[in-house]
Amino acid sequence: MRTHERVLAYLEEGIAAGRWGLGERLPGERALAEDLGVSRPSVREAIRVLDALGIVRPGVGSGPNAGAVVIDRPAAGLGAAVRLHVATGTLPVRDVVATRVLLESWAVAQAAGRVVDRAPGTAAHLEEARRLLARMEDDDVAAAAFLELDQAFHLEFVRMAGNVLVEAVMTGLRGAIGGYVAVGIERLPSWPRTADRLRTEHRAVLDAVAAGDAAAASAAVKAHIEGFSREAGV
Amino acid sequence: MRTHERVLAYLEEGIAAGRWGLGERLPGERALAEDLGVSRPSVREAIRVLDALGIVRPGVGSGPNAGAVVIDRPAAGLGAAVRLHVATGTLPVRDVVATRVLLESWAVAQAAGRVVDRAPGTAAHLEEARRLLARMEDDDVAAAAFLELDQAFHLEFVRMAGNVLVEAVMTGLRGAIGGYVAVGIERLPSWPRTADRLRTEHRAVLDAVAAGDAAAASAAVKAHIEGFSREAGV
């Protein structure tokens, strides 16, 4: 095991054991290096890895002794991993599309179930989805802005479903999804016509969730995702 | 942006653009440091992050000029992220169980479909699943060994489904699943009795996939995962 990996293993064990809890600080670089009998650069490498994985953020302010703070942004860490694997080109778009269909059709069904159960927060999520849809319905919205709103609209139902792991995976896929959709738009015969159809489909998803109809919501989101992929040839 | 993040962004862009393809070497530390006008430690920090995310493995042999090799192990990177997030304690077991049910019931249905389609590799996957099941049916197998075989059995169907992203997520969940299952076993009234039931349930999953019955396979794996979780109270 290389030196920075020993540091990583030590920090991971301490976090798992609750020695450093969420929101607390790890010891500073110097203290860790002395305690473990390793070099400062090795400690820093381990901290950089934890930062990239979304486990800590760097200490602010007072120099090398301000230890990194334990945080939890699962989406950030998964996002970096997924984004880079898409960059290497070995994560095929068809697998990303299939995974989206699977996770999102589940998520909207859960979201519809929460409407039926009158679960807390439901109304706020629906309100936000309506607001995003209204902005997408503005005829002047540019394609790039539309796509930002589109992703936020989809993620709103994923958040509404209330599973942090699924949410982390979907948030992690954000870059990969944005990438294939942007490529797909270039290939469309007519963006305005497709945009109109997407608005109608979004409306169908929203209405089904708001009505608490899980089956209709799943079917609508599946048809929507697969339809775009087919039309755009991605 | 901190210095190592600039290096990371540069390398990511180059990988995405195909400048360094799979199996090829990045430039050595010294060359990268000179080209980018940054310090060697900053370069090394970026490379360590790419290594942890499963994007490169360190260059072997000839010192600082042997550049890291671009590889692709999405499961390694996602696995590290998921494992550490479970360690921080903010990824609830019920979310892991629900995600397993979702992904695995989809995977066995896909696997059954591949049997119907006589897709290549199908027979080898089924053969491996049978072999793992036979080893779990040995009465002398210890609980720890049983659990290893059990995870391998489940992952065999995920691999059989043929979606690299779902496979990466499930492989990444391996540590999290192993953790809650090990805790659950401690709480069981009788491990030998539960082990017997698990074997029967595994047999039902395998038979349904081998018969190409997607609905039966999904139902069997869902009942199996949720049943254990309920019985063990995790």
| B121 and B135 Cβ atoms separated by less than 8 Å | no
pLDDT band at A74 (very low <50, low <70, confident <90, very high): low
Q: To which H or E segment does residue B69 belong?
A: strand B69-70
- What integer pLDDT is reported at residue B211 of this predicted model? 98
pLDDT band at B139 (very low <50, low <70, confident <90, very high): confident
User: Which among B69, B87, B116, B71 has a CA at the least distance from the CA of B175?
Assistant: B87
How many Cα atoms are found within 13 Å in the side-chain-facing hemisphere of B72? Answer: 21
Position with higher pLDDT, A121 vs A91: A121
Tell me how long chain B is.
Answer: 234
Which of helix, strand or coil describes residue B100? helix
| Percentage of chain A lying above the pLDDT 90 cut | 59
Of B52, B90, B169, the CB nearest to A53: B52
- Average pLDDT on A101-115 reads 98
B78 to A80: CB separation less than 8 angstroms, yes or no: no
Of B46, B80, B92, the CB nearest to A53: B80
| B136 and B146 Cβ atoms separated by less than 8 Å | yes
B214-232 vs B174-187: helix crossing angle, rounded to 10:
50
Which domains are delineated in chain A? 3-70 (1.10.10.10), 75-232 (1.20.120.530)
Chain A and chain B share a number of CB contacts under 8 A equal to: 147
A95 to B44: CB separation less than 8 angstroms, yes or no: no
- What integer pLDDT is reported at residue A76 of this predicted model? 66
B10, B165, B167, B180: best to mutate for the A interface, most A CBs within 10 A = B165
Mean pLDDT lowest for which of A230-234, B70-74, B108-112?
A: B70-74
B163 to A89: CB separation less than 8 angstroms, yes or no: no
- Average pLDDT on A164-169 reads 86
pLDDT band at B124 (very low <50, low <70, confident <90, very high): very high
A88 to B72: CB separation less than 8 angstroms, yes or no: yes
Position with higher pLDDT, A3 vs B16: A3
User: Which among B54, B94, B46, B92 has a CA at the least distance from the CA of B70?
Assistant: B54
Q: Which long-range contacts (CB under 8 A, 24 or more apart) does B128-132 make?
A: B128/B156, B129/B153, B129/B156, B129/B157, B129/B206, B129/B209, B130/B206, B132/B156
Closest approach of A12 to chain B, Cα-based (Å) = 7
Mean pLDDT lowest for which of A4-13, A51-60, B64-73?
A: B64-73
- What integer pLDDT is reported at residue A21 of this predicted model? 83
φ, ψ of residue B121 to 5 degrees: the values are 90, -15
B49 to A50: CB separation less than 8 angstroms, yes or no: no
φ, ψ of residue A55 to 5 degrees: the values are -95, -35
B153-165 pLDDT tens trace: 999 999 999 998 8
pLDDT over threshold 80, residue B134: yes
How many Cα atoms are found within 13 Å in the side-chain-facing hemisphere of B205? Answer: 32
pLDDT over threshold 70, residue A77: no
Distance of CA B185 to the CA centre of its chain: 22
Position with higher pLDDT, B114 vs A56: B114
- What integer pLDDT is reported at residue A90 of this predicted model? 67
pLDDT band at B63 (very low <50, low <70, confident <90, very high): low
pLDDT band at B76 (very low <50, low <70, confident <90, very high): low
Which of helix, strand or coil describes residue B25? strand
DSSP alpha helix (H) spans, chain B: 3-16, 29-36, 40-52, 74-87, 93-116, 122-136, 143-161, 164-172, 174-187, 191-210, 214-232
B106-117 pLDDT tens trace: 999 999 999 999
**Separate counts of helices (H) and strands (E) for chain A:** 11, 2
How many Cα atoms are found within 13 Å in the side-chain-facing hemisphere of A22? Answer: 13
How many Cα atoms are found within 13 Å in the side-chain-facing hemisphere of A223? Answer: 14
- Average pLDDT on B168-190 reads 85
- What integer pLDDT is reported at residue A64 of this predicted model? 54
Closest-approach residue (CA) in chain A for B103 = A102
Q: Which residue has the tokens 């039902």?
A: B204
- Average pLDDT on B190-206 reads 95
A91 to B78: CB separation less than 8 angstroms, yes or no: no
Provide the 8-state DSSP code for A72.
-
Strand B69-70, strand B56-57: pairing? antiparallel
Average pLDDT value for chain B: 89
Mean pLDDT lowest for which of A45-49, A226-230, B88-92, B158-162?
A: B88-92
Of B15, B44, B85, the CB nearest to A74: B85
With contacts defined as CB-CB under 8 Å, which chain A residues touch B83? Answer: 12
pLDDT band at B220 (very low <50, low <70, confident <90, very high): very high
pLDDT band at B120 (very low <50, low <70, confident <90, very high): very high
